[in-house]
Structures are given as C-alpha cells and as structure tokens.
Amino acid sequence: MQIAEIYQSIQGEGLLAGTPSAFVRTSGCNLRCRWCDTPFTSWNPTGIEQSIEMIVDRVRLLACRHVVLTGGEPLLFDEVVPLVHKLRDLSMHVTIETAGTISRDMQVDLMSISPKLSGSAPSIDEHPLWYARHNAARHNKSAIVDLVRHSPYQIKFVIDHLNDVKEVDFWLADLNCIDSRRVLLMPQGTDQIDLQEKDLWLTELCTERGFLFAPRHHIAWFGLTRGT
C-alpha cells in the first residue's frame, strides 16, 4: 500500500472525537475535492510502499487501541482488507474514513463515510478533466448501502453553504437506509475564524433538523498541521 504517514494523535471529528488514535494515511484518491486539506494524498500524491506487516509493526509501536485508516481513499487498495483483519485480530478498534465511492467485503468497528456533495468538485475551468471524473465518481449509492450494511457507521457531510443541506436531504432520501442519529454535519474550512462563523448557523440547523453537529476539533487544537 502507498502510505503517506503513520502517526499518533487525537481523533478530531465525528462520534469518536477526543479518542487517542493511531492514524494510517494512505496516498492516492479517486476524487479531487476543491478544498482537499490533504493534497499530498490526492492532487500531488506522495507516499512510500509499505507491506501489511510493516504497517502493523509501526501501529503497534504507537500503543493505541484505536486505529484510523484514512487518506486519500483507503478503500482504493485491495490490501486494506487483510490489513483490517490483522489489526482486528490484535483486538484493535478500526475506523475507516472513506468518501463512500468504493465498497469492500469486510467489517470494521466504525465505517466513517463522508459523501461528497456537488460543491466539492474542482473548478471546471482549471481542472476540466478532474471536474468530470470527480462528479462521475462521487455519488455511488450502491457502495454506501453496502458499506453501512456490514459495519457500524457514521455519515459525515461537509457543509460549506446553507443550501448544501438541501442536497443532504436528497442523498438521505435516495439512500433510504440511513439512521438519522448517525448523520453528522461538519463545517467546511481550515481557518478557525471561518469555522467559528459557520458553527453558529450550522449548530442551529442541526438542532432544528435533528442531525448531529461535528466540529473540526483538530483545527482548533492543532491548526492545519500535517501529522495531527
């Protein structure tokens, strides 16, 4: 597998926010989000080929019970299945963070799915090829249905504008299998001031609609810093 980094930190997003975790970040992605905060795994992917054994050995040295496989898009790699099996055999709690465009035949402790809304597409003028590829790949209903069928899950939508919530409603109606108690809305951004402004109206909206609010704690704790 192409690995960009392996490190220890605190989970900053979602249902397990605040949990000390080992992060395994793969390099490579089938999408190109305009606001991607890990371009070294997508727009300019860099990484080192590592075997499952090498990855597991490095994770064990971090001495964390919780392991997060993230990216990039970790489900691009066939090796993710035996890696998950090995980690769970060692009694580790495994979360996979994915855009939900690819399905794999396996079970994890938490499947963290972040479907990409239309606003995530790159500029059609600057990146016409990736604009088309991104939009063709970003909405894969069958993959998400399969992923939530096999594992406990959370569905985490990144919200940039108030109108994005209309698209969330469309996704949930189309999927028709998602527990609303596992739907989280997270503000888009990497600037703390910008995030605080979005938090104000997004928390109110979550209260009105019955969704969970997912602040980006790691930005407040560490800023946009690699390895956190």
Per-residue model confidence (pLDDT) at position 217: 87
* Pure H helices in 11-161: 52-62, 80-89, 128-137, 141-150
Residue 228 has pLDDT above 80, yes or no: no
Mean pLDDT of the region 84-113: 98
Per-residue model confidence (pLDDT) at position 203: 96
Per-residue model confidence (pLDDT) at position 26: 99
Per-residue model confidence (pLDDT) at position 227: 80
What angle do helix axes 52-62 and 80-89 make, rounded to 10 degrees? Answer: 40
Prior bond to 72 cis, omega within 30?
Answer: yes
Model confidence at 223, pLDDT cuts 50, 70, 90, reads: confident
The CATH class given to the 2-222 domain equals alpha beta
Mean pLDDT of the region 149-156: 98
Question: What's the full length of the chain, in residues?
Answer: 228
Mean pLDDT of the region 104-132: 98
Per-residue model confidence (pLDDT) at position 222: 85
Q: pTM for this one?
A: 0.95
User: Which residue in this structure is represented by tokens 């991607």?
Assistant: 36
Segment (H or E) for 22? strand 20-26
| Residue 14, φ and ψ in degrees, nearest 5 | 80, -165
- Order of all β-strands in the sheet with 93-98: 48-49, 2-10, 20-26, 66-70, 93-98, 110-113, 153-159, 183-187, 212-213
> For residue range 175-186, what is the model confidence (pLDDT) as tens digits?
999 999 999 999
Q: Which of 42-51, 125-134, 194-203 has the lowest mean pLDDT?
A: 194-203
Please give the Cα distance from 101 to 138 (Å, whole number). Answer: 6
Per-residue model confidence (pLDDT) at position 221: 85
> For residue range 11-35, what is the model confidence (pLDDT) as tens digits?
999 999 999 999 999 999 999 999 9
Burial of 79 (0-12, 13-18, 19+ CB in 10 A): middle
Share the mean pLDDT of the chain.
96
- Top pLDDT among 101 and 226 is at 101
Per-residue model confidence (pLDDT) at position 4: 98
- Top pLDDT among 195 and 144 is at 144
Residue 192 has pLDDT above 90, yes or no: no
Per-residue model confidence (pLDDT) at position 218: 79
| Residue 24, φ and ψ in degrees, nearest 5 | -115, 110
